[in-house]
Structure 1
């Protein structure tokens, strides 16, 4: 079945999955195959690779390093070199939808947050992490003006909306713990980001925990909503994301991981040489320049790629959070999950080493 048909059918395929998968990819040096027939289709046409990313806006908005790689044509160029056509697939269902598509085989690479990525791995989806985004995801707790929520302590007994199992949920637990509270002390309302903000505006919930955005900026600066707390002001209250590739696809086409990461390397180089690139990207998506400074005051919404000690520790803490909150009963070794050798090869080849 062709990839485009798989995309239409991944929901059905996911429902048919049974069993648990284990194991991780080998290193790039072990896996890289040079035979031409493993890269190009027998009829000379480009093979296809489907790369899913989170897009809850429904407007095909892709920001950060991956957005630059798409918009500057780096994905297209790097994959074409090895006989592939890259399809960037927006996933309105966010991380959980990416997990389903990876499990079904209708996506080959997923760019998603740490919580759904770790959750998917702990539940048996065979993937290898080839890039980390860093720890640049934060949350803001907004209160409806009519609910009189000025502090974290005021959340007790209130209806608080966020998406269960998402990184916002994890950071919410840290926020509540800072005031001696738990999830049981609030009325937790499980809603995805867009619905949570809509519920806040209609007054059906008292507060929401969400990523800072153009919408949250408007609500605070223009509509008088209460900014109860911003996680960026507290050490350890941030989250990250990662790019992961299906192990079976990686084993068959290891050059695709190198091509993907070369596009990332080129995108980060572009960002470094154009300091306003990420802000301009934000504005081009239809958002206010002021809301970018509000959301990312350090202008750091790009992928750091490296497996630094803090991002690895964050992944381990994410697994612990999922287990302690009965969101998974699975387990795995985080240190065996990621493989940055493809990144090292991408850097070396791009620099001509």
Structure 2
């Protein structure tokens, strides 16, 4: 239990401390000054998660072809400033600090941030059924989840893969027999090859590359644990919504158009997606199925996954409280 409490403090502190630093240093631009009426035209600051600087999915597609900023013009957006982060807690901290208006990130860090007091609303679930691949040490490593007892495993703490990993260990009855450490995804391959860790819970986008290097896969959410799929969400600060109340609906309309477009042109989308992910088009099709995207802001399946994750984080004391997803959602986001 002490380790779980420590992890909770780590996640919350990452959000609060970085956010305060950004607030004090005045990161980012503001569309208003004290006492002014908010200007109609403004630059929208959007954060997203990437190990590089590229954004995939329908938002990335619309960003790449220029249709997104055009579609957001009715809400007063004249430009979009894109900011990439290597993990969700850092993005949430930037939103808390006021340097980012909209965030596209995994559900787990978004829920932890909401429970910690981030004043932002849920605009949509941009993707559901995010897969996690559990890789084992390359040579002489475990061949099953049960074999992880007494070992050290890793993932990015605070990510949707983290939730998957903890719950998989719980279900196997070995949670208290495994040491879970924080390791950024770009460092996973070297650690598995050296034998520094027994296993790594990785996002699906690096799965094909690690598998091609001969690193064994001992589990996937998509194969054995559908209840542990992750989702990604779009959240917007209350300050932004107060100044531009029509933006969430306009954003969701633009996103819906992009979903319809990529569904109608899958070959073109996967050529683009492969470049974003650094994979072949065939590999991109495998890990990024179009069925993971809905033109609707929310689906019954997606909300069920989100609610389950919220309850898990609270029960494990990884979040300060259980986030009420229905209250977090914007009432009329589309």
**TM-score band, normalised by shorter chain:** 0.7 to 0.9
2:49 counterpart of 1:54 = yes
Give the distance between the partners of 2:68 and 2:286, measured in 1 at CA: 29
Q: Which residue of 2 aligns with 1:65?
A: 58
Give the distance between the partners of 1:327 and 1:216, measured in 2 at CA: 26
Give the distance between the partners of 2:21 and 2:294, measured in 1 at CA: 33
Of residues 189-198 and 46-55 in structure 1, the stretch that sits farther from structure 2 once superposed is 189-198
Give the distance between the partners of 1:72 and 1:141, measured in 2 at CA: 34
CA contact (8 A) 1:131 1:340 kept: no
CA RMSD of aligned residues (A): 2.4
Give the distance between the partners of 1:84 and 1:112, measured in 2 at CA: 21
Q: Which residue of 1 aligns with 2:30?
A: none
Q: Deviations over 1:77-114 (max 9, x none)?
A: 02334432332423323211111111111111111110
173 and 304 in structure 1: CA distance in 2 versus 1, 3 angstrom threshold = farther
Equivalent position to 1:78, from 47, 53, 71: 71
Extract unaligned runs of 5+ from structure 2: 1-17, 26-36
2:233 counterpart of 1:224 = no
2:150 counterpart of 1:141 = no
TM-score normalised over the length of structure 2: 0.83
Extract unaligned runs of 5+ from structure 1: 1-8, 17-36, 41-45, 344-353
Q: Which residue of 2 aligns with 1:212?
A: 204
Of residues 324-333 and 168-177 in structure 1, the stretch that sits farther from structure 2 once superposed is 324-333
Of residues 141-150 and 193-202 in structure 1, the stretch that sits farther from structure 2 once superposed is 193-202
Equivalent position to 2:90, from 93, 97, 114: 97
Give the distance between the partners of 1:168 and 1:301, measured in 2 at CA: 17
TM-score normalised over the length of structure 1: 0.79
Larger Rg: 1
Give the distance between the partners of 1:276 and 1:258, measured in 2 at CA: 29
Q: Which residue of 2 aligns with 1:190?
A: 182
Equivalent position to 2:231, from 236, 240, 250: 240
Q: Which residue of 1 aligns with 2:191?
A: 199
Q: Which residue of 2 aligns with 1:278?
A: 269
Q: Partner of 1:49: helix, strand, or coil?
A: strand
Give the distance between the partners of 2:169 and 2:270, measured in 1 at CA: 32
* Distance apart, 1:263 and its partner CA: 1.7
2:240 counterpart of 1:249 = yes
Q: Which residue of 2 aligns with 1:13?
A: 22
